[in-house]
Amino acid sequence: MISKKTAVTLIAVISATLCLITFLVTFFAVKNAPNEKGELYVTAEQYKTLAKYSKAEKIEGIIENSFYKDTDENALLNGALKGMVASLGDPYSTYYTKEEYKSYNDKMGGQYTGIGLVIKIDQTDGLPLVTRVFEDSPAEETGIVAGDKLLSADGQKLNGLDTEAVADKISGPEGTSVTISYLHDGKEYTKKVERRKVEMDMISYSMLDDNIGEIIISQFNGNCVEGFKEAINGLKKEKAKGVIIDLRDNPGGLLKDVCEILDLILPQGTIVYTENKAGKKDTYESDANYWDIPIVVLVNGNSASASEVFAGAVQDYNRAKLVGVKTFGKGIVQTIVPIQETGAAVKLTTSRYFTPKGRNIHGMGIIPDYVVELSLQAGQELTADTDTQLKKAMEVITGMIK
């Protein structure tokens, strides 16, 4: 009798192999059309490739004849493709179905299809903690509020996952539903929530005391670049003498977006460069035009990926001081490869990124210039009075202005 883990692995391998055979047969059929007798001729190399996976044909017959219930062919193939990518052992690489890829593109464009909330991972128990609920969203209508903790999605436990993996389980095609279990005021609730499109503003800004501006960046996608430009113009009109940029709980986003934003505040030079396994480098540069104002950047353990590109660049140039705690430590870049024939896509980790001074912080994170823990008492809300990190940022930037 095989173990459950072995069975799951075997099913994934079988599914992946069947899917590959289907692809190969289709590919060869397109390349070499059958003659009038229905015979299909392949090259010796093509035959070797088909023969390599011929054993799977027998297994397919066993499944077809012996499995106790009918199977969905599309679900089987999609599961096989997901299994192929999952076998890489990389939590950031994944296969998107056509519907999932559309949802991903909507999200990157600022039109998220899901239930409408922002999360971070609570380091004490590994559970997703809701930090923001968008107005007029399904989550708001369900009664989920900031401070609630998510337990499961469609019966799958969410503890121990990163923010991206949690988001993938919660989001989905418009009109579909997800059953969310969550903790609210210490009580567990389970509710079915219908997904729909939710407009997301990635940037918010305001004026604090002493002519200090604050810009909060939720993620580096959607309208973040235009929003950051609007924030700069707005704070200039308010005659801000310094600005605090809050990247706490920002899980990242698009590399091009964070580079466009950094170009607005960095002097001329390298913003970041990436390097793939072949040693090929791609460098992103800033020009000489930038907003010359004292800056402090807030970070925490959930500031990841593009947020760390931001933090690493301003730290290397000594353009800003970092306040908070060590960042997440995700120094790798994912690339989306669309599959034109099906409308699906594969997201793969393709390279590592390096700060202007050549630091790769994957698995290590970035240590702030001022390490300040955020210590809230049980049940205490984060406000201007309780936010010790923001208070330190105000102290630091006031010293930079004088």
CB 274 within 8 A of CB 358: no
Q: What CA–CA distance (Å, rounded) separates 154 from 160?
A: 16
Q: What CA–CA distance (Å, rounded) separates 239 from 222?
A: 27
Active site residue 316: yes
Active site residue 305: yes
Classify burial at 275, counting beta carbons within 10 Å of its beta carbon; exposed 0-12, middle 13-18, buried 19 or more. Answer: middle
Q: What region does 198 belong to: left with phi over 0, alpha with psi -120 to 50, or beta? A: beta
Q: What CA–CA distance (Å, rounded) separates 274 from 335?
A: 12
Tell me the two tokens of residue 341: 């024939």
Tell me the two tokens of residue 349: 């980790």
Q: What CA–CA distance (Å, rounded) separates 128 from 118?
A: 9
CB 325 within 8 A of CB 373: yes
From 15, 303, 305, 307, active-site residue:
305
- Give residue for tokens 């210490």: 186
From 321, 330, 347, 392, active-site residue:
330
For residue 377, give the DSSP letter: P
| 179 to 2, 49, 304: CA distances (angstroms) | 31, 43, 27
Q: How far is CA 26 from the centre of its chain?
A: 33
Q: What CA–CA distance (Å, rounded) separates 101 from 347?
A: 10
φ/ψ of residue 170, rounded to 5 = -85, -40
From 162, 168, 257, 316, active-site residue:
316
Residue 196 belongs to what H/E stretch? strand 196-199
H-type alpha helices, 176-291? 224-237, 255-263
Sign of CA dihedral 296, 302, 307, 308: positive
- 331 three-state secondary structure: coil
Catalytic residues: 305, 316, 330
